Amino acid sequence: MSSKIKTVHGRRVWDSRGRPTVEVDVHLDCGNFGRAIAPAGASTGSAEAVDKRDGGTIFGGYDVTGAINAVNGVIGSTLAGMEVTEQGQIDQAMIDLDGTPNKNRLGGNALVATSMAVAHAAAAAENLPLWQYLANPHETPFLPLPEIQIFGGGAHAGRRVDVQDFMVIAVGADSYAQSLEWTADVYRFAGQLMSDAGLMQGVADEGGYWPAFSSNDQALEFLVRAIEAAGFVAGQDVAISLDIAATDFGSNGRYHLSADDKEVDSDGLSEMLLGWLQRYPIVAIEDPLGEDDADAMARFTAAAGDKIEIVADDFICTSAQRIASAKSINACNTALIKPNQAGTLSESKAALEASRAAGWQALVSARSGESEDTTIVHLAVGWGVKQLKVGSFARSERMAKWNEGLRIAETLGQDGGRLAPRSSFPWAK
């Protein structure tokens, strides 16, 4: 039967922040179809694909009528009749239609929802789940090691503390299921400790606790206490990962730390973070310096050593070209892969391959504005990515993704979900 695209249909749905977003259905001549929803970021890099929003006063300017019209108009008419398995050609056709460096004519939200829906439709035509359709048939699949937010800060929690994400990674877990079980305990004890100390202020937009901490150090101290209260050895069983998101509070080599009421230069911020590496069981730091502070990023990466993942997000914006540039000065050693940051799955996969060519680690990541869509879990498993960052261990748009990993593990017949070998992670060296 034909697996050519018959129709492409976009509609407005709602994300986890109650804002409009784009959902796309791709229907095939053979009767199969694929569906996907575009996520949206709050903390965004200057080089990433931009959402097409209507502006004005309706829904605070966040409506997506223009993006949906693009899906139901020029995108749909161009893709009709194309072979759904030709993901690269389909994505390139949309890129050419848009014709801008950041997808602002048709909208990154229109393109990424369509690109992901095409992949789901292609998998459905083969009667396969997306992860299996994408996987290398000569390799045994594994589940990604979860990276899970416990405390939210920065743009995700009213900037009560400067660091955007205080996360945990169950570095000692033997399976995907066990990593979730351990994180559930840490999350629960963190909430109890904050409540007992009178620090509870709410929940951040990715599901982590919204802290009323007096400093960034206090947040780290409470996170260590939560790990230990849950019965784990900090650094051995459960370690810490941070998303500094330094671009959000700095520019031109100057950084304003609101929680500590001080301003520092690049070297001052690096010194503070290197001090944290000495005092706390941290195994990964994302965007430690601003996206415009490349030389400082390189100096920090060298000083942190090869056992720490220095994760680039805003600095590379899921771009193969920017990854190659970062590699040329050794500015980091791990790439964060966000499909909506690139705009299409083909560009996201190219960025992943560029990171592997550079000898880097990689994570597939969700965004702060999410939905029930679970595409990124299938991408992580199918593409063989060792880590997955979704947000916290609360809110249905987050748990839908963690739970999808459990279903995939069950399908694979693995006892709890085989993880990548522990020895393959930098902190295990």
- For 79-127, write each residue's pLDDT tens digit: 999 999 999 999 999 999 999 999 999 999 999 999 999 999 999 999 9
Instruction: Using the predicted structure, report yes or no on whether residue 64 has a pLDDT greater than 90.
Output: yes
Q: 334 and 223, same structural domain?
A: yes
Residue 323 located in a structural domain: yes
Query: 169 and 85, same structural domain?
Result: no
307 is catalytic: no
192 and 95 both lie in a single domain: no
Cα 187 to its chain centre, rounded Å, is 20
Mean pLDDT of 244-254: 91
Q: Which of 23, 48, 147, 206 is catalytic?
A: 206
Residue 388 located in a structural domain: yes
What pLDDT does residue 159 have? 61
Give pTM, 2 decimals: 0.96
Q: How far apart are CA 15 and CA 372, in angstroms?
A: 9
Q: Which of 127, 154, 189 is the last residue of a domain?
A: 127
- pLDDT value of position 1: 58
Residues in contact with 281: Cβ distance below 8 Å, sequence separation at least 6, in sequence order? 224, 227, 234, 235, 236, 239, 240
Residue 58 located in a structural domain? yes
Please say whether the beta carbons of 207 and 149 come within 8 A: yes
- What tens digit of pLDDT does each residue of 322-369 get? 999 999 999 999 999 999 999 999 999 999 999 999 999 999 999 999
Is residue 315 domain-shared with residue 373, that is, in the same domain?
A: yes
One domain, residues 259 and 286: yes
Which residue out of 338, 349, 389, 401 is catalytically annotated? Answer: 338
Judged against a pLDDT cut of 70, whether residue 244 lies above it is answered with yes
Residues 334 and 368 in one domain: yes
For residue 132, being part of any structural domain is answered with no
Q: Where are the alpha helices (DSSP H) in 285-357?
A: 294-304, 320-328, 339-342, 345-357
Domain count across the chain: 2
Q: What CATH number has the domain bearing residue 255?
A: 3.20.20.120
Lowest mean pLDDT: which of 44-48, 117-121, 273-277, 318-322?
44-48
Residue span of the structural domain in which 393 resides:
145-428
Statement to judge: residues 172 and 264 lie in one domain:
yes
- In a domain, residue 46? The reply is yes
Is the same domain home to 400 and 317? yes
End-to-end CA distance of the chain: 50
Does one domain contain both 162 and 241? yes
Which helix or strand (DSSP H or E) is residue 211 part of?
Answer: strand 209-211
From 127, 153, 183, the end of a domain falls on 127
Give the separation between CA 204 and CA 408, rounded to whole angstroms: 28
Q: Helices (H), strands (E): how many in the chain?
A: 14, 16
Last residue of a domain, one of 127, 153, 175: 127
| Residue 228: active-site member | no
Residues 263 and 363 in one domain: yes
Cα separation of 132 and 6, whole Å?
A: 24
Residue type, 10: G
On whether both 152 and 94 belong to a single domain, the answer is no
What are the Cα distances from residue 289, in Å, to 249, 277, 294, 358, 381? 10, 15, 8, 20, 30
